[in-house]
Structure 1
Amino acid sequence: MLVRYKGRANSLTFNNVMELPEGEALRQRSTRFGNMVHTLNHVYVVDDIFRHHLQGKKHSYTARNTEQTPAVGDLWTAVQEMDRWYIGLVDTWSNEDLSEVVHFEFVGGGEGAMTREKIVLHIVNHGTYHRGFVGDLMYQVPFTPPSNDLPVFIRDHYSCTQ
């Protein structure tokens, strides 16, 4: 459910960002990553880093974001593929698979280890955290984004018995 929620929240956010007046999504603002698209790119990069960890592969990232901000349309295409990848992977896991420990190296150095379950929780929480920043930046346009939080997703996509 959590990776499906992440995909839905990403869809709402990207659709809103792409509806903003020309230039607003890339307008430099007082925020950690400078603009809305670069903030969303950071989420993608971290998702990709953890995808590599889950696959037991090395990645080529030396930072938790790229130097250049990608075009929002290109980033949205990549994020949709990433969301499908996580949903497809998690759908194949058993309860035992969730508890498997994945060892990795942090981008900034140092060893890490997390269960698959904790990695999924991290990527979902991390995306939620940064979509919140993007939502705040949208209010500065001004633009009011729709609610994309978990209880709304559950209300709209799951019954109380699921």
Structure 2
Amino acid sequence: MSDAAVPYLRMLSRYTAWANARLFDALAALPAGEATTRRNHGQHSMVGTLAHAWVVDLIWQAHLQGRAHGYSSRQPEVEPTLAQLQQDQAALDQWYIACADGLDAAGEAEVVDFRFVDGGAGAMRRGDMLLHVVNHKTYHRGYVADMLYQAGCRPPVMDLPVFLRDVPQV
């Protein structure tokens, strides 16, 4: 990444929060039980998929803070309710926005040492860590969008160009 990366990381953190909110609102409007129904051969529900993404966000938050994450799995021990997960994810999204807003070029380029869930050593630039979080969330929102289609529902529009069109940029 370069000095020019910081404004993009700030924009992408806001995009992630916007897209997450749209998806959670769509799931909250589903008939009872749809968001927790296991799909894709019984492996995951919409809530379970988003709970995984939330745990991964918590792990990377710990890495960015330079502390141990305490997780031995990328899944929560107990699947949260949709309402609780929506609240927790929104708070974490705000943390990531503040994190990106607090970066300057030197902070973006700073390499942080950490431990993966399997215990292996890792080291990444802060900017690359934030980019991974954004990319990981995009992937899993797409997975949930597919599950919405399987449930006979249309997912909300969560595309970056729509965000850029509809949300004033700071």
Asked whether the two chains share a fold, i.e. TM above 0.5, the reply is yes
Which of 75, 90, 103 is the equivalent residue of 1:80?
90
Give the number of aligned pairs.
160
The TM-score with structure 2 as length reference comes to: 0.89
CA distance in 2, matches of 1:32, 1:13: 21
Secondary structure at the residue paired with 1:142? coil
In the alignment, structure 1 residue 129 sits paired with structure 2 residue 134: no
Which of 72, 95, 105 is the equivalent residue of 1:95?
105
Amino acid at match of 2:44: G
The answer for the alignment partner of 1:109 in structure 2 is: 119
Identity of aligned residues (%): 45
- Using the TM superposition, give the Cα deviation of residue 109 of structure 1 relative to its aligned residue in structure 2, in angstroms: 2.7
The TM-score with structure 1 as length reference comes to: 0.94
CA distance in 2, matches of 1:44, 1:33: 17
The answer for the alignment partner of 1:17 in structure 2 is: 27
CA contact (8 A) 1:33 1:39 kept: no
Change in Cα spacing, 1:125 to 1:31, as seen in structure 2 (3 Å) is farther
- Using the TM superposition, give the Cα deviation of residue 158 of structure 1 relative to its aligned residue in structure 2, in angstroms: 4.6
The answer for the alignment partner of 1:7 in structure 2 is: 17
CA contact (8 A) 1:49 1:59 kept: yes
Secondary structure at the residue paired with 1:13? helix
CA distance in 2, matches of 1:139, 1:24: 12
- Using the TM superposition, give the Cα deviation of residue 39 of structure 1 relative to its aligned residue in structure 2, in angstroms: 0.2
- Using the TM superposition, give the Cα deviation of residue 21 of structure 1 relative to its aligned residue in structure 2, in angstroms: 0.8
Amino acid at match of 1:74: Q
In the alignment, structure 1 residue 54 sits paired with structure 2 residue 57: no
Per-residue displacement from partner, 1:5-52 (whole Å, max 9, x unpaired)? 000000001001111111000011126851000100011000000000
Between 43-52 and 86-95, report the one with greater CA deviation: 86-95
Secondary structure at the residue paired with 1:145? coil
Q: Which runs of 5+ in 2 are unaligned?
A: 1-10
In the alignment, structure 1 residue 120 sits paired with structure 2 residue 130: yes
The answer for the alignment partner of 1:34 in structure 2 is: 44
- Using the TM superposition, give the Cα deviation of residue 157 of structure 1 relative to its aligned residue in structure 2, in angstroms: 2.1
Secondary structure at the residue paired with 1:42? helix
The answer for the alignment partner of 2:4 in structure 1 is: none
- Using the TM superposition, give the Cα deviation of residue 67 of structure 1 relative to its aligned residue in structure 2, in angstroms: 3.0
**After the TM superposition, which parts of structure 1 deviate over 6 Å for at least 4 consecutive aligned residues?**
none
Q: Which runs of 5+ in 1 are unaligned?
A: none
